[in-house]
Amino acid sequence: MVKRSGCQLPMPISHVVLPLVAFFFLRKTVWRVVACVRYICRKPICMNWQSDETYLKALCKGNSLVLREIYTRFAPQLRSWVLRNNGDDDDAKDLMQEALMAIHDRYCGTDFQFTGNFGGLLMVIAKRMWYDQLSKKKRSQSIRKEELYGQLEEEPELEAAEAAMLEKQRMEVLARVFELLSEQCRQLLTLFSEGEKDPDKIAAQLGIPSANAVYQAKHRCLARWKKLFYQHHKTDA
């Protein structure tokens, strides 16, 4: 008491309010420290990067740690490129996601062999997509398409990138028009895709009179789906 007699504050102020006020004013610094620690934790200082095959496998089968590494390794590069080219963080985030989805759609569950450089392919797809968006938004009316793509032409991954983008577009149109099918069609096709081989079971489950009618329904649904796809794919292109 004697020691502190000069500036003794009532208990609730010194013990509750002051720390709160201090935290309020220092919260930016606190976040910065937290971000710094997280950045250091995320940066694998003594870790070797995974191989391209591992990245691809993580996309196809799922592996959070490896997906995280993909972001750690390539996100900063993509982000700075997008920021230099009239984009913001949101654009970079979307491009990263779309490009990874394109790689997934092209190489997961298909016969296409992945050759070459994962990071290179990712960057080329993202750049290509961004140029497409720019020319669509007409933000760069004065720039001709050839000029936009000019710097990409020398990239060895360009062909693979374009194929991946096409595949992704196909998948997205398929997804979109799948939702336009009838509830029964969607259930039926899903059941088949889940490996249900017995048409009688499917018939019973969906209330279809016979096994034969199940096949007929399946083909009808597939044909309708295809037709919808062609309609929408053309208008997209």
Partner 1 sequence: MEATKRIDKYLSGQMEAEEKRAFEQELDTNKALAEELALQKDMNRFLEKRRRREALKGELDSLGSEYFGAKAEQGRVVSMVGRRRWALGIAATLLVLVVAWFALRPSLYEQYAAHPPLALVEKSGADALTLAEAEQAFNKGDYRKALPILQEYVANNPDDDLVKVYLGIAKMEIGETPEAREIFSSLATSNSPEIRDFAVWNLALSFLKDGNKEACRKVLQSIPEDSGYYQKAMDLLERLK
CB of 147 to partner 1, least distance (A): 27
64/79 Cα distance (integer angstroms): 21
68/236 Cα distance (integer angstroms): 33
C-beta of residue 99 within 8 angstroms of C-beta of residue 131: no
The number of residues in the chain equals: 237
CB of 17 to partner 1, least distance (A): 10
Residues within the interface to partner 1 (CB under 8 A): 1-5, 14-16, 18-20, 22-23, 27, 30-31, 34-35, 59-60, 62, 64, 67-68, 71-72, 75, 79, 88-90, 92-94, 96-97, 100-101, 104-105, 108-110, 167, 170-171, 174-175, 178, 189-190, 192-193, 218-220, 222-223, 225-226, 229
Nearer to partner 1, 108 or 213 (CB): 108
Nearer to partner 1, 61 or 138 (CB): 61
CB of 162 to partner 1, least distance (A): 16
CB of 118 to partner 1, least distance (A): 15
Count CB atoms within 10 A of the CB of residue 218: 18
Burial of 33 (0-12, 13-18, 19+ CB in 10 A): exposed
C-beta of residue 25 within 8 angstroms of C-beta of residue 73: no
